Amino acid sequence: MKKVSILATLAAALFACQANAEIREVEVTGGRVAGVAADNVVSFKGIPFAAPPVGRLRWRSPQPVDSWSGVKQAASFAPGCMQNASFTGRFGAPPALSEDCLYLNVWTPAKSAGDKLPVMVWIYGGAFAGGMTSIPTYDGTQLAQKGVVLVSVAYRLGAFGFLADAELTRENGGTSGNFGLEDMIAGLKWVKSNITKFGGDPSRVTIFGESAGGIAVSMLCASPAAKGLFHGAISESGGNFGPERVDEGAVEGGVNMAPLKMAEASGHQFLEKLGAADIKAARELNADKIQNAVNSGQGRFWPIFDGKILPGDQYELYEADRFNDTPVLIGTNSDEGASFARPGVTKASFEEQVRAGYGKKADAILAAYPHATDEEAVQSSRDLFRDSVFAWPTWAWALLQSEKGKGKAYVYYFDHKTSRTPHGAQHASELGYVFHNLGQRDPAPQANDITISDLMSTYWTNFAKNGDPNGPGLPAWPAFSASLQKVMYFDGHSSAEPTPNMTEIKAMDSYFAWRREQEKSKN
């Protein structure tokens, strides 16, 4: 009996040791990396997924990662990609910036490589001009504790990520201007090749992002180059379903996407202002000189319809069943436009803005957005920005996905009001709730903040696990459809309700349909 007891004790100790095992060191593409354990999660920060895009690799598609010897200690974030340095301070990120920035981070709760946990890949926002993985709100520990492997991927920004030029197009096999998107795709390919070793399942990858990151998620859903690299998509305040611009010098409300030729012309003009006669000379320019030119407003950089990474108008691609069909979870915030509000809006200036940007649909837009007084005009200016940039693209995406795709669409509306935001939830205010990282920049969370954060982070991770946010004990979240246009409200009492602001969204839908016709008539 004594011998049996000793064996049982040893077996129990061995089982306990195995149960607490962690993935501390991993062989990845390029070499070995060692992570840091804390709170039952091991984090690996600053893992290179592509060669540094510097020198002759500036403005090239991401190239294979450079190998290293020994074990790389993955204990700290790599520098953020080149951008206006003030961006880091605004969001509490480390100040280091560099062209050498193509690195990713992994948080894993897995006990072994065989756990096959779902994977969530985060794409940061920042208008494609700023952003970094090291912003404290994006720490993946809390989401990983809910049973997913969390990955965050850096991508080139501004002129470094989205400059187009005819010489670059020839050099890069018929495309330029979408290098930042190509970085995201390279990161997803790295995930597909390496995430099993972190206990992740490469057949259950969900991409998610906010603002520019959410727009990028929608772009990846329409990119042939991203096909098969993910199996679910979450977009917070992002969508790219407007037509391409038709006039470089005109104001076209809510329209951001330039075609390749237009982008090449503006990119070449930018380089000429820098004194670069050709791409070879441009690659010899100091990175700070390029960034300073962007900071001073000498160029505007955004992804483009290049015909390859982004074939064209996503609305039309979805109508033609040319998209990467996965379940989607998408939504917007109730007062997004407050973060972009112009000062001094009056009844007269609002009407002037609408007539300048919305062409023959201006009267219908003005009828949908009250502006009888200056006070009404201020709010309508905010709401018009919300709907043209975020709410209509989200609604259009949900409708197209539900009509054309097999994957279901789940839509939310974040309307959590606080003492600082009494009119509604502003742009990016959901991020701390989703990542369960409250209190990073705002006052200490209240009990209802924690409740909403628990709910949202659980819905998000459920979606990553099952392609469906629903789960035991949660308010039922119905899939969106043309006949049942319900969205999940997140506020003091979270529940599924009819889609809000439909009068305004319908006006925007008519406007964007007209813009698509305008585009066709010009081509």
Please provide residue 112's backbone torsions phi and psi, each rounded to the nearest 5 degrees.
-155, 165
- Give the Cβ contact number of residue 417 at 10 Å: 15
Contact 261, 307 (CB under 8 A): no
- CB 162, CB 128: distance < 8 Å: yes
The secondary structure of 127-148 as a DSSP string is TTTS--TT-GGG--HHHHTTT-
Rounded to the nearest angstrom, the gap between the alpha carbon of residue 194 and the centroid of all alpha carbons in its chain is 22
The amino acid at residue 259 is P
Q: Residue 508: enclosing H or E segment and its boundaries?
A: helix 502-522
Active site residues: 211, 336, 427
Contact indicator for 165, 277 with CB cutoff of 8 Å: no
- The β-bridge relationship of strands 25-28 and 41-48 is unpaired
Within 8 A by CB and 6+ apart from 388, the residues are 253, 254, 508
CA distance 304 to 259: 6
**Helix boundaries (H) for 390-446:** 392-404, 431-434
Residue type, 88: T
Q: Are 270 and 163 in contact (CB under 8 A)?
A: yes
Any bridge partners for residue 26, and if so which? 33
Angle between helices 179-194 and 212-220 (to 10 degrees): 70
Amino acid at 89: G
Helix (H) or strand (E) holding 104: strand 103-108
| Nearest CA among 331, 274, 90, 61 for reference residue 181 | 61
